[in-house]
Amino acid sequence: MIGISEDKNESVWHSFLAQHQMNWEQRFDSGGEMSRQYGVNAFPTFVLTDGNGAVLQRFVGEDPNESLASRIAPYLKNSQQGGL
């Protein structure tokens, strides 16, 4: 999974990542290049990829009733079983 941020202030973004323990792959994309590459058109967007970088799933927006880990768990389980 890659988190892509288009924040304007990189130090504020780093603080947010640390505060929310977002310790997966993160990219700072103030110019929007990666957002275009991955088809991101809303924030937050979380992109789940396989080991080769192919997009498996996009998670757009937040769900206050379900953690991100819970949202991606079915996709991770499928990928471990060869389903994705």
pLDDT tens, position by position, 16-69: 999 999 988 888 988 889 888 888 888 888 888 888 888 888 889 988 999 988
- 0.75 exceeded by the pTM? no
Rounded Cα–Cα distance for residues 56 and 51 (Å)? 10
The 10 Å CB-count burial string (b at 16+, else e) for 16-51 is ebeeeeeeeeeebbeeeebbeebebeeeebbbbeee
**pLDDT at position 1:** 65
- What is the set of domains in the chain, with CATH numbers? 2-80 (3.40.30.10)
pLDDT of residue 10: 94
Confidence tier at 84 by pLDDT (50, 70, 90): low
Strands 2-5, 25-28: pairing kind: parallel
